[in-house]
Amino acid sequence: MNEIVCREIKRWSETLEELNEFDITVVNILLKHYSELIEAGGTAGGKRANKFAEYINEKKGKCDKNLEAVQLELRTDNKRIKRLKKLEVDSFRGFSVSRTFDLGKQYIFLYGPNGSGKSSFSEALEYSLLGIVEEADANKIKLSNYIKNTTTKKGKKPIITCLYDDDTEGVAIVDYASYRFAFVEKNRIADFSHISVLNNKSQNERIAALFGLSAFNEFVQGFTTNFDGKYLAISSVTEKLFEDKKISRNARENQLLETKKELDKTNELLKNELNKLNKKEITNVDDALDYLDNSTNGILTLKIAEREKQHAATIPVETIECFCCQIIELQQAFQLLRDNRAKLSNMALQVNYKNLYEIISGLDETDNS
């Protein structure tokens, strides 16, 4: 039995709630005899339905009361990864030199132009964790050739360092069954983008392929839809979710149409404003912006240049600093003058003018003393 189908059957059975005795009986048959049902074939000729009927007849009209705890043969030897720590690549796809990427943050956003290595980075993660690259498998390309770098002509396996659920750190162990749902390669996304033009059967197949559930989908689709509804649920939760998504998509499309109408109105208004400029050389927004704001001859550029000519030239900082120094020196000179005047006034108060007059009067004109 395919391991993927085993895991999905077990996960499906663990989600079942509020089952009646008929539901429980059908589920128990599926869980106990899934391998035999697969080997019996699909809906062609009613092979699987006949096999299923055999197991129902074995019940002899008695229904099960409880779900049986069936242990599927699933791998449990590998530890689960809690967090990726770093990715090391060298000579892998678009990487010709050694590169180390820090993956320790909670969110990692990958962006860059075409050819910058986004796909190579994603495929390095895929190869390190799954041991395969879906793109190579889909195009029937040998993996060793697919991972080669065109410059170095070599292809080395990338190395991922991770933190496991037991808080030990080490190199990631390849486990396709556990981590395959973490990767969706671009071919499946491209196929999914055209799902609306397909019939229901093809839509289901595309959805299954997108999420890597082709094998499980084949097992489910292998049953006929002629079962009584009370024995086997015909309606699908996924189908209901898909219908809800279609309604949401239609609402978004209507919103997009309304937005387009608003843009058309804005575009018409813009054309009218451009016509008001009465310039034949202006036919779009870029022309109008260039006409107004061109760095050489735009209207705004010329007006600003003209305004600057009308203003006095800016005084250099050095001249202002020199002027400030001279003001300070002048202030100091005035202060010295005030101080000397004060001293002279004090000295004048101490002079005996009568004695001074007598002395001056008694001087002889030829006295040189």
Residue spans per domain, the chain: 3-58, 81-174, 246-309, 317-361
Supply the pLDDT for residue 75: 53
User: Which of 44-48, 161-165, 276-280, 343-347 tops mean pLDDT?
Assistant: 161-165
By percentage, how much of the chain surpasses pLDDT 70? Answer: 78
Torsion of CA 106, 107, 108, 109, to 10 degrees: -160
Percent of the chain with pLDDT over 90: 14
| DSSP three-state, residue 130 | helix
| 358, amino acid identity | E
Q: What is the mean pLDDT of residues 39-66?
A: 81
Helix axes 47-58, 21-32, angle to 10 degrees: 120
Question: Above 90 in pLDDT, residue 300?
Answer: no
Query: Left (φ > 0), alpha (ψ -120 to 50) or beta: where does 117 sit?
Result: left
pLDDT one-digit tens code per residue, 218-234:
666 666 666 554 444 45
